[in-house]
Chains A and B, each alone.
Chain A
């Protein structure tokens, strides 16, 4: 069983949803980023998404755009992100790691080599934002061969006719983008989530996580209750950004502040 499947199975037995966290690798520097990564499981993150910095993050709002600029300035590359995952795996063999990013850095790295290196580094799943199922034929065989889950986004605009196709191409878990919009801009209403999740469940037995627009512990708890997990990204990136000094460098309290927020989210989810 993959780490992702194992983790969701365990949480199901525990009767709660997952806290999925998102931070960009190398934001704001490699040392702080690794410290955050290592601290996440202890703070209560069940699944870790690592954003791979890209110059043109078309689905991301201003917070994550700025994170990408900081990370690229700090020297982030896809191979360095993989090296960071390897460092993390020296101490943690159980927490699932999902890389989330855009296609071009993977193309530049070489798809087959990337899938091989990612799996060897301890990556469990991939979210490639700008590769819809229609364009996935180059990636799918290599990801499958390496046992990497291809996690798909389902959006409010994904209609009934399209849903089976999108879900059919998904493994690991389903990422429900709760709003038609970019990351970190607005939040979905409870009513729209209550309608959306059963619609997806009719077509899949995979765990469903809700993301985009989840900022508070209350929102996270609600999403984790309605679905199988809540993804929190921009809110964490914002806390990180607010903790930096005028030059955009980490302060001594940066890691603690972000992890404290993760703890708050995890507690709310555990309390149901």
Chain B
């Protein structure tokens, strides 16, 4: 293997071909290619338009409720210090993106993309969703902008995320259950792409994560970077310095990319991306693309992918529908190979324990996705010095998950 030389900056990507190192690109059928190029051109123009930025920021402030607070999780910090060696136990902060309108970080990038779709003159919006958070965010923005919205969702996820399915319908969206494959996020994305191929003239595909063909990984990251930019300023204000470590959950990787990106060139800031280890990395049932997969091409981009020896894509497994994806965004794949970010796993059981701990200690019911991040915080904070600061992205709230969690805990509701 060729040696990878670290770049001067970790914030240079992607290149003109939409590549982060060997990852990314535009692996789509010819029918979509002209449209992908059109999205790229429109996004480049929108980025340079101060009016576009002003409108997006107006929505973030007055509709979403940004900036989201930075919260010092004091009781959790004290709890973890009890288990730690003397002098150990970092201060734990939460970036509270679960307080956003619609209950997760997804709305940040959705509003940017819907404004872009309107600039492009598109009159229909489609989206894929796993946990339903991106679907709810897209349905919300479509209600606000009076655009018809179709959300593709794996039938398995429709089953386990009923509250969000009902929410999307209330907001006026059409929810299309997808039954192919394991009927989860990967299959929803396949179906959304198929629908898009058939409706290229009037339809914009609002992708929920930092994956898909260029320019989506860069565009979604840019919009989500509002998380990291705010957190940087808030941390300076609270502590007068940068955090020592960042922790975020990784499915496709949008909340993590949003938090990490503004810190990538601060070498003193360590970063941990937490993949869903499902029933354990020693089993076949997990969604740990970076730890257990290898580079491949799916959904328009080259990325780390769970696949068999013949290049057939394998089903992911996670208790969290939002992390149940066999791939991971190209920029994460690149940061993994460069070693800038450490990618670790948290199992279903660890996430469930963290979910309950956070609820009891902080009075915050987290979504199962950030509960995976919290599971790593529980391992990591006690290893760090008391003076150190660990910042976790609490990227979604757990209302949608209470039925799933109750079932796993054997509680009848």
Contacts and interface: CB of A to CB of B under 8 A. Distances in A.
B190 A56 contact: yes
Contacts of A104: 296-298, 305, 307, 311-313
A58 B34 contact: no
Contacts of A153: 29-31
Contacts of A65: 180
A155 interface: yes
Given A56-B181, A56-B298, A72-B312, A177 B30 contact: yes
Contacts of B27: 103, 130-132, 135
Given A55-B181, A65-B180, A132-B28, A162 B313 contact: no
Contacts of B376: none
Nearest to A162: B34
Contact of B186 (A56, A134, A155): A56
Given A58-B194, A104-B296, A130-B300, A155 B313 contact: no
Interface in B305-326: 305, 307, 309-313
Interface stretch (A179-187, A188-196, A224-232, A251-259): A179-187
Interface in A148-181: 152-159, 162, 166, 177, 179-181
B30 A158 contact: yes
A102 B66 CA distance: 42
Given A104-B296, A104-B305, A180-B198, A166 B312 contact: no
B148 to A, nearest CB: 19
Contacts, number: 116
Nearest to A179: B198
Interface string B124-135: 000000000000
A182 B34 CA distance: 16
Contacts of B198: 179-182, 185
Interface in B182-217: 186, 190, 193-194, 197-201
B25 interface: yes
B25 A135 contact: yes
Given A59-B197, A104-B305, A130-B297, A54 B312 contact: yes
Contacts of A106: 311
Contacts of B17: 134
B184 to A, nearest CB: 12
Interface in B23-69: 25-35
A185 B200 CA distance: 15
A61 B193 CA distance: 11
Interface string B287-308: 0000000011111100001010
B409 to A, nearest CB: 34
Contacts of A217: none
A107 B311 contact: yes
A157 B35 CA distance: 8
Interface string A200-222: 00000000000000000000000
B186 A158 contact: no
A248 B311 CA distance: 24
Nearest to A106: B311
B300 A132 contact: no
A79 B312 CA distance: 13
Interface in A52-81: 54-56, 58-61, 65, 72, 77-79
Contacts of B32: 157
Contacts of A54: 311-312
Interface in A120-157: 129-132, 134-135, 152-157
A180 B197 contact: yes
Contacts of A30: none
A39 interface: no
A85 B174 CA distance: 45
Contact of A182 (B180, B197, B300, B311): B197
A182 B194 contact: yes
A131 B392 CA distance: 38
B310 A78 contact: yes
B26 A59 contact: no
A108 interface: yes
A105 interface: yes
A157 B28 CA distance: 13
Contacts of A155: 29-31, 34
A108 B197 contact: no
A104 to B, nearest CB: 4
A229 B361 CA distance: 69
Nearest to B313: A55
Contacts of A157: 30-35, 200
Contacts of B26: 132, 134-135
Given A72-B312, A105-B312, A157-B35, A58 B181 contact: no
Contacts of B300: 130
Going nearest first, the 8 A-B pairs with the smallest beta carbon separation are A108-B311, A181-B198, A105-B311, A155-B31, A153-B30, A104-B311, A77-B310, A59-B29
13 contacts: A54-B311, A55-B313, A59-B31, A65-B180, A104-B298, A105-B312, A107-B295, A107-B311, A134-B26, A153-B29, A157-B31, A158-B30, A180-B199
Interface of A: 54-56, 58-61, 65, 72, 77-79, 102-109, 129-132, 134-135, 152-159, 162, 166, 177, 179-182, 185
Given A105-B312, A162-B33, 14 more contacts: A54-B312, A55-B313, A56-B299, A59-B197, A65-B180, A104-B297, A104-B313, A106-B311, A130-B297, A131-B27, A153-B31, A155-B30, A155-B31, A185-B198
Interface of B: 17, 25-35, 180-181, 186, 190, 193-194, 197-201, 295-300, 305, 307, 309-313
